[in-house]
């Protein structure tokens, strides 16, 4: 059986790494402990967004936020925002009316071989090129996420 790969949007990491929206912290941390590390894919954009949110919204010192971002950069599989990712992102934005930066995250998930993109902010159930967006904080989990966690 091939490894099920899952991309994470910034909000999942922010909840796990800070006290922003404290009730979601435990959910995010539990998810990240249960998802096999080898399955986690991060668009490089998410690393930058994580740093930015931890400094600007969570109030962490840049050195601490940078250390957290570096840890994720070193432990997850990364997908660069390449020319091919950007071309796909432009198609997504144009055809499906997503913002360009959300489109980059979706395209990077696809280029990273992911079946799932965990995001609280994007359209639940939207699927593009084999990548399905699901909210890991929803009351009912997507069946693919359930399979990954079991």
Quote the tokens at residue 34: 């249960």
Q: How confident is the model over 91-146, as pLDDT tens digits?
A: 999 999 999 999 999 999 999 999 999 999 998 999 999 999 999 999 899 998 98
Q: Are 112 and 43 in contact (CB under 8 A)?
A: yes
CB atoms within 10 A of CB 62: 11
Task: Report the distance separating Cα 19 and Cα 10, nearest Å.
Answer: 14
* Residues facing residue 8 across a β-bridge: 118
CATH topology for 6-149 is Rossmann fold (3.40.50)
Phi, psi (5° rounding) for residue 14? Answer: -60, -45
Identify the band that residue 147 occupies on the pLDDT scale cut at 50, 70 and 90: confident
Q: Domain residues of the chain, as ranges? A: 6-149
Contacts 24+ apart (CB under 8 A), 18-25: 18/53, 18/54, 18/57, 18/58, 18/60, 19/58, 20/53, 20/57, 20/58, 24/120, 24/137
Residue 2's pLDDT is 59
Q: How confident is the model over 53-68, as pLDDT tens digits?
A: 999 999 999 999 999 9
């Amino acid at each position: 059986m091939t490894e099920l790969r899952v991309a994470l949007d910034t909000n999942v990491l922010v909840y796990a790494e800070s006290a922003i929206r404290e009730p979601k912290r435990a959910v995010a941390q539990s998810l990240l402990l249960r998802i096999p590390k080898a399955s986690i894919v991060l668009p490089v954009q998410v690393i930058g967004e994580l740093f930015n949110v931890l400094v600007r919204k969570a109030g962490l010192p840049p050195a601490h936020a940078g250390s957290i971002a570096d840890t994720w950069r070193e432990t997850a599989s990364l997908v660069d925002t390449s020319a091919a990712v950007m071309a796909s992102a432009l198609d997504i934005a144009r055809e499906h009316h997503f913002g360009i930066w959300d489109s980059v995250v979706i395209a990077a998930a696809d280029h990273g071989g992911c079946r799932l993109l965990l995001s609280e902010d994007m359209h639940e159930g939207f699927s593009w090129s084999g990548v399905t967006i699901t909210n890991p904080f929803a009351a009912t989990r997507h069946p693919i996420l359930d399979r990954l966690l079991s």
